Amino acid sequence: MASMPGDYVHFKACVPLRRVSVGSKQWRYYDYGPKQVAPLICLSGVIGTADVFYKQIMFLSMKQGYRVIAADAPPVSSHQEWLYSFEKFLDSIDIHHVHLYGTELGGFLAQLFAQYRPRRVKSLVLSNTFLDTSYFAEKTRWSSLINWTPSFMLKRHILTGIPNEPQDPFISDAVDFVVNQLDTLEREDLASRLILKTRSTSVGRLLLPDSTITIMDTNDYCTVPRQLKNQLTERYPGAREAFLKTGGDFPFLSRPDEVNLYLQLHLRRVGVEGQLDLAKDPSQRDSAGNPTEKNDPSEDAGDSSENHGSTFNQLEDGSLPSRSVGSSDDPDEHFVNKEVKFLDSETLKITAGLPNIFSMHLSQQYWMILYLWANILDCLVIVGRYGMIASVLMKVLADGFVSATCCSSLCGELYDSKVLEPRVLSSL
């Protein structure tokens, strides 16, 4: 299998593939974007999976704040079964009103669903699609044998018509990507898609106004004949038309900028606006595409002021207490603060060299030792007995902070040597 594009690898790292059961079968889908926005559901053709719409998710969802869902249906044996399964899929993910974007077979099924459930479909974007499957039924005389046809023969038939000659590099890359996705499908999936495309059915009259329909076609070579595309424009004379000069069968991959622009214009025209304030970086969002909540810095500051002077509260979260440089006019305190920062850096280096299980399970008592260490260094500046204490501290480090008794033995040695006089720990 050819290497995947870098932006697709990034997409897979940010957006999880989800599954939902409808009866005994599963729908596969990607769902990304704010839940407050009416979703655009993308339906692919015979060739392709939900992954082929990753460029639309990356732009419309991640950068414009729209909610985009790309879905793959489980194997079905009829158009009626697909319509019923799709409706149950929408119910399972708690979506009632939808905007559908379908390409090739996906566009045909989107029209059937708009006819079947007119109140649920608010708008349509149809790309390189058709109204009637009779043309493909005549081309596939052996359609009654599809369920018994081997997988390699189904793939060969599906790829019939895809040009092999050199062409636009972006179109070639799009074809390669879609063919790779086709290789991931099981024989049952391939057979189901061919059945849906070759079983004679036609789209009836829709209750959807033409003004809510956008027809997006490419003017270069496409496996869907021009006469079938013309039937679409004749059926919906009031629909908006968006023509791409080139793009082939998969303009959503080969011409993503143009397709994304037309999709955004369509959504705005039907009253759907992206939530730009929620369109944050994927690292700041959960797996569903919703922004993760962060504490208000002012709240953190308030908590800090309330816990000031309480050593237990300051160490509760396992963080290393430290004083900000410049908090006092005493030059000795500035020196001690620098030492604390230095020790913090060295401690991280030492901890990084320890076994993972040890560095992952540092408990509160170890941070207490470091806290005492900082206060001891405060005394070092005043007393000047650095050498003796440093040797004791290195002994503690060498023992690996085995137990909290290290802390008590350390303090005992210091008191016996009269280096450290009893004093109240300063609040950091």
pLDDT digits (tens, 9 = 90+) for 33-75: 999 999 999 999 999 899 999 999 999 999 999 999 999 999 9
Rounded Cα–Cα distance for residues 41 and 102 (Å): 8
Q: Which residue has the higher pLDDT, 315 or 245?
A: 245
Q: Angle 187-198/105-116 helices, nearest 10 degrees?
A: 70
The dihedral formed by the CA atoms of 203, 207, 208 and 209, expressed in degrees to the nearest 10:
120
- Pinpoint the alpha helices (H) of 41-168: 54-56, 79-92, 105-116, 134-139, 151-158
What is the per-residue pLDDT across 150-188, written as a single tens digit (0 to 9) for each?
Answer: 999 999 999 887 877 667 899 999 999 999 999 999 999
Tokens matching residue 188: 């049952």
Confidence of residue 363 (pLDDT cuts 50, 70, 90): very low
Of 182-186, 243-247, 283-287, 313-317, the least confident: 313-317
pLDDT at 331: 38
Q: Do 202 and 79 contact (CB within 8 A), yes or no?
A: no
Tokens matching residue 214: 């956008």
pLDDT at 269: 96
Rounded Cα–Cα distance for residues 217 and 205 (Å): 21
Is the confidence at residue 347, as pLDDT, over 70?
A: no
Q: Do 69 and 29 contact (CB within 8 A), yes or no?
A: yes
Of 170-174, 243-247, 357-361, the least confident: 357-361
CATH code: domain 6-284 is 3.40.50.1820
Q: Where are the domains of the chain?
A: 6-284, 315-416
Rounded Cα–Cα distance for residues 260 and 414 (Å): 70
pLDDT at 152: 92
Going by the DSSP 8-state scheme, the letter that residue 330 receives in this structure is: -
Residue 322's φ and ψ, nearest 5 degrees, are -155, 150
What percent of the chain is predicted at pLDDT more than 90? 54
Q: Do 400 and 358 contact (CB within 8 A), yes or no?
A: yes
At 359, which helix (H) or strand (E)?
A: helix 356-360
Is the confidence at residue 275, as pLDDT, over 80?
A: yes
Amino acid sitting at position 2: A
Q: Angle 79-92/105-116 helices, nearest 10 degrees?
A: 80
Chain centroid offset of residue 386 CA: 53
Integer angstrom CA distances of residue 40 from 99, 308, 384: 5, 51, 71
Residues 6+ apart with CB under 8 A from 255: 170, 218, 244, 246, 247
Q: Measured over all CA atoms, what is the biggest interatomic distance in the chain, rounded to whole angstroms?
A: 101
What percent of the chain is predicted at pLDDT more than 70? 64
